[in-house]
């Protein structure tokens, strides 16, 4: 499943799920980060593997990746 949104650079941000419980954010030219589910939390990381936080919902974790760009 992919979800598309506009980024600050007017490029399309796409969320894909290459594996169960893993979501990856990218644009046509950049990797933006990912979200991984641990079962009860969603861990967001940025493009350089920096921790962006642990969240109670997938949407909150995705928003953290989006805002970190």
* Structural domain count, the chain: 1
pLDDT at 8: 52
Q: 0.85 exceeded by the pTM?
A: no
The band of 67, judged by pLDDT with boundaries at 50, 70 and 90, is: very high
Burial class (CB in 10 A: 0-12, 13-18, 19+), 29: exposed
Which structural domain range is residue 61 located in?
3-68
List the structure tokens of 33. 């980060």
What is the per-residue pLDDT across 7-66, written as a single tens digit (0 to 9) for each? 555 578 999 999 999 999 999 999 999 999 999 999 999 999 999 999 999 999 999 999
pLDDT at residue number 11: 72
């Amino acid at each position: 499943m992919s979800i598309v949104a506009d980024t600050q650079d007017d490029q399309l941000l796409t969320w894909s799920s290459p594996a169960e419980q893993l979501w990856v954010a990218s644009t046509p030219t950049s990797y933006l980060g990912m979200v991984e589910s641990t079962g009860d939390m969603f861990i967001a990381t940025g493009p350089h593997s920096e921790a962006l936080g642990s969240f109670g919902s997938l949407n909150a974790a995705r928003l953290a990746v989006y805002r970190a760009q």
